[in-house]
């Protein structure tokens, strides 16, 4: 399955420009040439540069956009991120869409880097979730990677994550284990993760050899340590629920392998970036 079946640039351009930029049409001469820069207004981790540059080219293939600071770069206020050269009308038409992508994705990368730094544990991977903006999942997950995080499953099709709501039939552990074994046989390459709310569930799930990951959902740190101490069969542990910059270091210290943070994509503030036109010629 295509992990990015939509064209977010095309959608964003159509949404913003529609039938045309009336302001530019009336106030900017048709033949006016300009050079411009996208400048960071605060310290940040940059992401989405190629997408932003692609917006300018999509609006006008003759526009040249050169990435100065690639994704994953740390920038300070005043640093130039992208340089643009082309018709002023084209640059102005593309400006807001390009900035929207760059500000949003850089915000995700910046917040991710903060969580990675706050965890202060190279053994633990900081994961994203599926709590993404509809249509922008591929871009937002790439921004997580730019910030030093790791992608969890991309969608419902590439990994199994069994949560409480999937077990509404309540057929018992034996039936659950049999289903896991059948899944492993029919889909041998698919990772299998199951959510546990308490230690009794962890102990029960550890008896199922085919599981790859046990998700410790909203557990106390003492419970997480106990769960990790029970580890066998090379199973990995993931912590999730109420993860903040203040507590992630303590959670990482429990011995879990992964920490998933929905806030990386659903609560990242946009980074302040602006486009400045430097020179115009007729």
Specify whether 234 is catalytic: no
Catalytic residue among 95, 140, 193, 195: 195
Contact of 120 with 249, CB cutoff 8 Å:
yes
Rounded Cα gap, residues 15 and 97, in angstroms: 9
Beta-bridged to residue 150, according to DSSP, are 127
Beta-bridged to residue 75, according to DSSP, are 44
Check the CA dihedral 169-175-176-181 and report its sign.
negative
- As to burial, measured by CB atoms within 10 angstroms (0-12 exposed, 13-18 middle, 19+ buried), residue 230 is middle
Specify whether 140 is catalytic: no
Specify whether 257 is catalytic: no
Specify whether 50 is catalytic: no
What is the 3-state secondary structure of 8-24? HHHHHHHHHHCCCCHHH
Catalytic residue among 71, 217, 238, 257: 217
How many Cβ atoms sit within 10 Å of the Cβ of residue 52? Answer: 29
First to last CA, the chain: 48
Rounded Cα gap, residues 265 and 115, in angstroms: 12
Catalytic residue among 41, 96, 191, 231: 96
Specify whether 131 is catalytic: yes
Catalytic residue among 131, 153, 191, 249: 131
Catalytic residue among 163, 182, 187, 203: 163
- Active site positions, annotated: 96, 131, 163, 195, 217
């Amino acid at each position: 399955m295509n992990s990015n079946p939509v064209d977010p640039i095309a959608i964003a351009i159509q949404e913003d420009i529609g039938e045309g930029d009336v302001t530019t049409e009336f106030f900017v001469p048709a033949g006016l040439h300009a050079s411009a820069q996208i400048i960071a207004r605060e310290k940040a981790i940059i992401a989405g540069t190629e997408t932003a540059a692609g917006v300018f080219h999509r609006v006008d293939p003759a526009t040249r956009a050169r990435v100065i600071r690639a994704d994953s770069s740390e920038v300070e206020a005043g640093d130039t991120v992208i340089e643009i050269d082309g018709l002023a009308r084209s640059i102005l038409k593309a400006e807001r869409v390009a900035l929207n992508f760059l500000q949003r994705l850089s915000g995700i990368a910046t917040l991710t880097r903060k969580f990675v730094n706050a965890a202060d544990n190279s053994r633990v991977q900081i994961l994203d979730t599926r709590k993404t903006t509809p249509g922008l999942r591929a871009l937002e997950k790439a921004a997580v990677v730019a910030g030093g995080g790791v992608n969890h499953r991309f969608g419902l099709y590439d990994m199994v994550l069994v949560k409480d709501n999937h077990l509404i039939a309540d057929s018992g552990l034996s039936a659950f284990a049999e289903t896991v074994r059948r899944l492993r046989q029919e889909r041998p390459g698919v990772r299998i993760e199951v959510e546990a709310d308490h230690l009794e569930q962890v102990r029960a799930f550890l008896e199922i050899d085919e599981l790859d990951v046990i998700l410790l959902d909203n557990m106390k740190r003492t419970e997480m340590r106990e769960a990790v101490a029970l580890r066998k069969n090379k199973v990995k542990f993931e912590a999730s629920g109420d993860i903040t910059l203040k507590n992630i270091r303590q959670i990482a210290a429990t011995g879990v392998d992964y920490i998933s943070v929905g806030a990386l994509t659903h609560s990242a503030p946009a980074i302040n970036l602006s486009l400045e036109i430097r020179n115009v010629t007729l």
